[in-house]
Amino acid sequence: MVKQTIQIFSRVKPTKAKIGLYEIDEDDSGSPRLTFTVPKDLAVGLVNNKKENYKFRFQRVFDQKTKQEEVFEHVGQPVVDNVLSGYNGTIFAYGQTGSGKTFTITGGPEKYADRGIIPRTLSYIFQQFEQNPDYVYTCHISYLEIYNESGYDLLDPKHESSKLEDLPKVHLMEDSDQNIHLKNLSTHQANNEEEALNLLFLGDTNRMIAETPMNQASTRSHCIFTIHVSSRQAVGASIRRSKLHLVDLAGSERVAKTGVAGTLLAEAKYINLSLHFLEQVIVTLSEKGRSHIPYRNSMMTSVLRDSLGGNCMTTMIATCSAEKKNIDINHIPEYNLNMRFTGKAVIITGSNSGIGKATALLFAREGASVLIHGRSLETIEETVKECKDVGGKDAKFPFVQGYVANDDVIMKIKDTALNTFGKIDILVNNAGAGNVLNLSTGTMQNFQETVNVLLRAPVQLSQVCLPELKQTQGNIVNMSSIFGIRPNDLVSFYCIAKAGLNMFTKCAALEFGALGVRVNALCPGCVPTPIYKKSGFTEELTEAFYNANRRIAPIGKNGNVEETAKMIAFIASDDASMMNGECIVLDGGTSLCGLDSKAIEDATK
């Protein structure tokens, strides 16, 4: 059995001169620790308003002097041993472009000693075959390239002489047992190390590579080299099958830093989005009690589904470069997904509490200037202060107090943003309103008040901000609800307004999209916020609502404002540049099951 299924290593890219920007030591528990120092005066066009030292723990940290042989001994060999014992495994290298991933996984072409993990794995596997005469082994190899979320067979003989668009694409197919099969991906038997290496070299020759400002030979695709091993005892009939995925991920990169455009820009967006989905899977696997793992979000995670988690052995080696030109605080995890919004101007209505406040703080931490809006001056001022505490020194946080359904307040929000920021990049229509009223108990005045805040105000504010959003090629995120998709007889007015907001999102996406402005909606489920109390929910009813959702949701829990804010930020970021007109459900599966007054009533018993 596999004793430890997930291991994480780090490797500092070898350089000609010793660099003093990092240190390797041990923490108080004796675990290896890598510390990076980012001086505040680092002269690479970088403003560091935060702390200077960042500490990370790993199973092992490989210094610049570490040889390829030692890396394989600690990273590759344990996984290969488990594969030979019948368990699936995955080894992948992750890091920003130019940090040494391909060198670590594949190796350098000049010296035999520079062989990377893949060629050393092939050599080790065939050595083990020879040393175990009691078993009969067979080895098959496939080599998949995922470029712009489309799969291609790197071992297709037509690859070298054909244009990419003329090559057959690899398609995912799922059988009745939910096993993934890859149509148009060939597998080749390798009878010895030489044949296996020839397949590796053929695939590497066909990879998508381009020069970028950060890397003269930047791999623009994710490549999965898979070794399929079958074994049976010489005197037995049962066959044991396993496979090892060796993954060379395309380098993550900040588009603003690399300055790429055209095809390279499109590639970067696909690369970053697929890496985001891989991150989601790994984070979910690390959380106990999560029954649903989002493997299907991308081709890469779908392919790796049976080799991540469970009793499979997964090893990641995080590569990093200590050269000054590569030191980027935007790639440090504590900077919350790469400071995506540095220099951006954001309007968030209803940002003085709940989801809106969490979103404002997240944007502030990631470098944005944010206009804060709400009705309570006290909570507005608290939010502004907290944003200033976590935001950059050049960020600005003006505020507007008032009822968002008021025409004058709408215009004041826009004018204040323009006078302070000079532009508008992102509009988050988040201001909320609700009441415990349905069609039987509510009045038309109640209905009008609900619609004014939840539908009329987002439409009006989006219209008046459109000229500025068009100039910046910005985007709009509307905060909707699962109750805009699935009705609830307790809050019918709210459901009707949110359903209208969803349709506005789609209509606006059609019209505004042609102008370069994306429009999307987020539909969260039960997220405990002050809105319930403000909407007339009694304490008992609020608790019943929370409990009912926990019982019904397949994952057995309610949402939270921080997680919801992260999804808003993702939708608003360049990583979601292909997303337009979507009403994205974030409810843990509650909308699949239903949450009506009967379910809430049962929760009080």
What the block records as the tokens of 562 is 């921080």
Residues 488-501 pLDDT 10s = 777 889 899 999 99
Q: Helices (DSSP H) in 66-216: which residue ranges?
A: 68-71, 77-84, 101-105, 117-131, 193-205
- From 585, 596, 498, select the one nearest 545 (Cα to Cα): 596
Q: Which residues contact 68 (CB under 8 A, 6 or more apart)?
A: 104, 107, 113, 114, 115, 116, 120
Give the span between the Cα atoms of 235 and 420, in whole angstroms. 80
Quote the distance between the C-alpha of residue 310 and its chain's center: 21
Residue 588 annotated as part of some ligand binding site:
no
What the block records as the tokens of 85 is 């014992």
Q: Is 83 exposed, middle or buried (0-12, 13-18, 19+ CB in 10 A)?
A: buried
Least-confidence region, from 136-145, 254-263, 344-353, 404-413: 254-263
Give the span between the Cα atoms of 153 and 434, in whole angstroms. 53
Between 428 and 391, residue with greater pLDDT: 428
Amino acid at 580: N
What's domain 73-314's architecture?
3-Layer(aba) Sandwich (3.40)
pLDDT confidence of residue 268: 62
Residue 138 annotated as part of some ligand binding site:
no
Query: Residues for the chain: how many in total?
Result: 605
What are 506-512's contacts with CB under 8 Å, separation 24+? 506/581, 506/583, 508/462, 508/476, 509/580, 509/581, 510/581, 512/462, 512/466, 512/469, 512/470, 512/476
- Averaged pLDDT score across all residues of the chain: 81
> Cβ(370)–Cβ(397) under 8 Å?
yes
Give the span between the Cα atoms of 396 and 381, in whole angstroms. 13
| Highest mean pLDDT, choosing among 154-158, 279-283, 404-408 | 404-408
Longest dimension (CA), the chain: 86
Least-confidence region, from 99-103, 148-152, 340-344, 433-437: 433-437
**CA end-to-end span of the chain:** 46
What the block records as the tokens of 18 is 């010793």
Residue 605 annotated as part of some ligand binding site:
no
Residue 101 annotated as part of some ligand binding site:
yes
Which helix (H) or strand (E) segment is 246 a member of? strand 240-248
pLDDT confidence of residue 32: 80
- From 296, 138, 146, select the one nearest 232 (Cα to Cα): 138
Over residues 256-273, the mean pLDDT reads: 56
Between 565 and 555, residue with greater pLDDT: 565
Give the span between the Cα atoms of 466 and 250, in whole angstroms. 36
Over residues 291-313, the mean pLDDT reads: 79
Number of Cβ atoms within 10 Å of the Cβ of 403: 15
> Cβ(480)–Cβ(522) under 8 Å?
yes
Residue 99 annotated as part of some ligand binding site:
yes
Residues 446-464 pLDDT 10s = 899 999 999 999 999 999 9
The DSSP 8-state label assigned to residue 520 in this structure reads: E
pLDDT confidence of residue 513: 94
- CATH 2.40.110.20 holds for 345-532+560-592: no
Q: Is the pLDDT of residue 253 over 50?
A: no
Q: Is the pLDDT of residue 515 over 50?
A: yes
Q: HSE (CB half, 13 Å, CA atoms) of 455? A: 18
User: Mind giving me the DSSP string for 306-366?
Assistant: GGSSTT-EEEEEEEE--SGGG--GGGSGGGTTTTTTTT-EEEETTTTSHHHHHHHHHHHHT
Give the span between the Cα atoms of 272 and 219, in whole angstroms. 13
pLDDT band at residue 273 under the 50/70/90 scheme: confident
Residues 372-384 pLDDT 10s = 999 999 999 999 9
Q: Is the pLDDT of residue 204 over 60?
A: yes
What the block records as the tokens of 319 is 């590569």
- From 137, 136, 148, 146, select the one nearest 170 (Cα to Cα): 146
Residue 98 annotated as part of some ligand binding site:
yes
Number of Cβ atoms within 10 Å of the Cβ of 579: 18
Q: Is the pLDDT of residue 48 over 80?
A: no
> Cβ(403)–Cβ(461) under 8 Å?
no
Sign of torsion, CA 195 199 202 205? Answer: negative
What the block records as the tokens of 220 is 């623009």
Q: Is the pLDDT of residue 262 over 70?
A: no
Residues 326-358 pLDDT 10s = 555 544 443 333 457 878 999 999 999 889 999
Between 54 and 381, residue with greater pLDDT: 381
Give the span between the Cα atoms of 335 and 32, in whole angstroms. 22
Domains of the chain by residue range: 73-314, 345-532+560-592
